[in-house]
Structure 1
Amino acid sequence: MSAPTHPRTHPAATGGVDIRLPWWAIALPAVAFVTLLLLILNPADAQAAAGDPTIGHILERARELVLR
C-alpha cells in the first residue's frame, strides 16, 4: 500500500527563494533618490554653491544636460 503524496506549493521547499517586497520598499528609496538628485542639480536653491561660482556653473551645466 503506497502513501499519498502532497504537491509542494512553496518554492522554498524545492530549494528556491521566495522574496516578496511591499510596494513602498521600492517606491520610497526611488523617491528619496529623485529628491536628492533634484536638490543637487538645482543650484539656485543650494546655499553652499552660492559662494563659489565655479561649482554653481558646473551644477547648472549638469542640470541642462539632464533636462535636454
Structure 2
Amino acid sequence: MSAPSHTRSHPAATGGVDIRLPWWAIVLPAIAFVALLLLILNPADGQAAAADPTVAHVLARAKDLLLP
C-alpha cells in the first residue's frame, strides 16, 4: 500500500522558490538593529566612550551624519 503524495500548487518550473516570511521575521530584527545603533551613537550614556575622547568624537560625528 502506497502513501498518497501531495502535489505542489506552483510548479517548480516557474523560475524560483516561493518563500514567504511572517511580518515579524523582518520587523523585529530591524527594530533590534535600530535600537542597538541608537545605543552606540549616544556617547553621553556610554562610560567607555566617555573615557576615550577619540571614540566619543567619532561617535558624535557619526550621529551628526546619520541623524539630522
Q: One fold, TM greater than 0.5?
A: yes
Identity %: 67
Q: Which has more radius of gyration? A: 1
Pairs within 5 Å for 1:6-17 = 10-11=9-10, 13-15=11-13, 16-17=16-17
Q: CA RMSD in A?
A: 1.8
Question: Which residue does the alignment assign to 2:3?
Answer: none
Which 4+ residue blocks in structure 1 deviate beyond 4 angstroms? Answer: none
The TM-score normalised by the length of structure 2 is 0.75
Q: More relative contact order in 1 or in 2 (CA 8 Å, sep 6+)?
A: 2
Count of aligned residue pairs for this structure pair: 60
The TM-score normalised by the length of structure 1 is 0.75
Report whether the alignment pairs 1:63 with 2:63: yes
Please give the per-residue CA displacement for 1:21-46, whole angstroms capped at 9, x wherever unaligned.
Answer: 00000001100110111011110111
5+ unaligned residues in a row in structure 1: which ranges? Answer: 1-7
